[in-house]
Amino acid sequence: MKLPKIIIFLIIGMELIKASPLPIDPMWKSESFIKAYTASYGIDSRIEPNLDAEEKKLLVSVAEKMGNKDRVGAIALISQSPLTEKSPALLFNLASLQFENGKIQTAISNFLKAIEFQPNFRDAHRNLAIAYVQENNFEKAEPSLRKAIELGSSDGLTMGLLGYCLNQSGRSNDALQAYRMAKLTMPNELQWQIGEATALMDLGSFEEAISIYESILLTEPNRVGIWVNLANIRIQQGKYVQAIADLEVARRLKGLNPESLISLGHLYLNESLQERALSCYEKAIEKPNLIEVSKLTKPIDYLMRFNLWDAAKGLIMDIKTVEEFNKKISEDKQLNQRFDRADILIEMNIGNQVIAVKRLEELLKNDPLDGEAILILADYYLQQKSSEKSIMLLEQAAQVQEFTAKSERILGEIYASRGDYEKALTSLQKSQNLEPHKALQEYIESIQKLKDVFERK
C-alpha cells in the first residue's frame, strides 16, 4: 500500500496483512527533507510535541543515518540518547523505526509512552492503531483511530483503517461509511475498494459488491481473495455453477486453502460431479499442517448424504493413512467416535448390517448420550419394522439437547403413520418450537386436520 506523505517518515509503511518498511530513497539525503522532518513538530502544539534544540539536533543525525540506509544505527542512536526517555517526539520516532524493523510490541510500548507524555499526540495515536492492526488487535486499534480522528486526522489511511477494524467486528454498515470516506482522499487505494466491496457483500448488496470486485479484477486478476468472495456471493444468490467457476480460478492461482477446497468439493457434489468433488477432498488432505482433522468429517458426511458410501469409505481410509491425522483421531475421544459412527453407517449400508448394529450398541454402552449413534440405530430398527424399539431409542435421543428437535420430529412422523395423531402433534410441535420450519408447520397443520376429521367421525 502506498501511503500519503502527510508527515514524512512519521507515517509507518504498512499493509493490512503485514508491515512493509518505508522505502529508502534519495529523499532521506535531501536538505529539504531534513528541514521538513525536524520542523514538522510544534506547528500545532495541541497535537504535536515541541522540539528543543537538542532534540532537533538528534533527529538530524537520525535522518542522516536513514539517508545511508542504516535503520539499525538510527534506532541505536535514539535508544541510547538520554533525551529519549522523556521526549514524546523521540519516543514516537523510535517506535516508528522499531515497527518498521518488525519489533511490534516494543513499538507499541514506546507509542504509549509518547502518548503518556503528550496525550493529544495525534500521529502517535494513529501509528499506535496501525501497530495494533498489525497484531490483529482491532479492539485496541479502534479507540486509537477514533482519538486520532477527534484530533483532526481525516486522511484516507486513518479512515480506511477504521473501516477495516469496524468490518472485523461485524459492523459492516459503519465500515462501509468509513471506507467511502477513505476513498475521498485515496480513491485509487485498492485496500479501501476491497473493503467497501466486502462491507457491501456483508450487507447483502451483492450487485454493488460484484461490480467493485469485477472492476478490481480487470487490473488485478490474481487476487485470490476476491475470487473467493465472488464465489461466496454467487452461493448466496444460488448461482452455484458460477461459484464453482470463481473458485476454480482461485484454485488455479494456487490460492485455495484446504477448507475452501472442501467447499468446492461440496459444490461439485451438488452438481452431481462426483469425481471432481473427490479430487477436491483428496487435495485437501495433502497438507495435514494446513487443516484441522475435525474439518475432514464434513466431506465424509457430505458423501454419505449423497449415498456415495464407497467414496466415503475410501476417503476415511485415505485420511487415516496420514500418520498425523490418524494420531489426532486416536487421541481425541469425540473425534474418534465421529469417525467410528461414519464407518458404522457405511458398514450398515454396504456391508454387514448385523455387525454394524453390534458396533453401534457397543458404542452406546460407552457413551449412552451419543445422540447421532442413537438416531442411526433408531433408523435401522424403523427400517426393520421394529417401530417400538425405534420409539424407545428416539425417546432416549430426545433427552440429548442437541438432538431433541430431530428426535421429536421423527417420533411425530412415526405416531402419525400409526394414526396416533394426538402424540404426533405433541412431538411435532415440540420440534417446531425448538427449530421452526415452514414445511414442518404445514405438516403439523395437515395432521391437525386429519385429527379433526377423525374426531368428528
pLDDT tens-digit map of 28-40: 343 433 343 333 4
Rg (CA), the chain: 31
**pLDDT score recorded for residue 40:** 41
Whether 230 is in a domain gets the answer no
19 or 427: whose pLDDT is higher?
427
Instruction: Give yes or no for a contact between 158 and 122, defined as CB atoms under 8 angstroms apart.
Output: no
| 175-183 contacts at long range (C-beta below 8 A, 24 or more positions apart) | 175/199, 176/200, 176/203, 181/154, 182/156, 182/157, 182/158, 183/156
Above 80 in pLDDT, residue 82?
Answer: no
User: Is the distance from CB of 240 to CB of 258 less than 8 angstroms?
Assistant: no
The pLDDT tens digits of the residues spanning 410-435 come to 999 999 998 899 999 999 999 999 99
What confidence score (pLDDT) does residue 47 get? Answer: 62
Question: pLDDT tens digit string along 159-205?
Answer: 888 888 888 888 989 889 888 888 888 887 888 888 888 888 888 88
Residue 137 lies in a domain: yes
Residue 241: CB atoms within 10 Å: 10
Residue 73 domain flag: yes
Whether 98 is covered by a domain: the verdict is yes
Q: Which residues pair with 356 in a beta bridge?
A: none
The answer as to whether 439 is a domain residue is no
- 460407552: which residue's cell? 366
Q: Which residues contact 300 (CB under 8 A, 6 or more apart)?
A: 312, 315, 316, 339, 342
> pTM of the predicted model, to two decimals?
0.64
pLDDT exceeds cutoff 60 at 19? no
In a domain, 116, yes or no: yes
Domain enclosing residue 57, as ranges: 1-153
- Which residue carries 498425523 as its cell? 324
Domain assignment of residue 315, yes or no: no
Rounded average pLDDT over 296-305: 89
Number of H-type helices and E-type strands within the chain: 25, 0
Summarised one tens digit per residue, pLDDT across range 345-357 is 888 888 888 888 8
Q: What is the pLDDT of residue 33?
A: 36
Q: Extract the C-alpha cell encoding 70.
A: 542504516
Diameter of the chain measured on Cα atoms: 104
Q: Mean pLDDT, the chain, as a whole number?
A: 81
**Does a structural domain hold residue 148?**
yes
Band of pLDDT at residue 441, cut at 50, 70 and 90: very high
* pLDDT one-digit tens code per residue, 363-387: 888 788 888 888 888 888 888 888 8
CA 394/CA 427 separation, integer angstroms = 11
Total count of domains within the chain: 1
Find the mean pLDDT for residues 229-242. 88
| Domain at 9, CATH number | 1.25.40.10
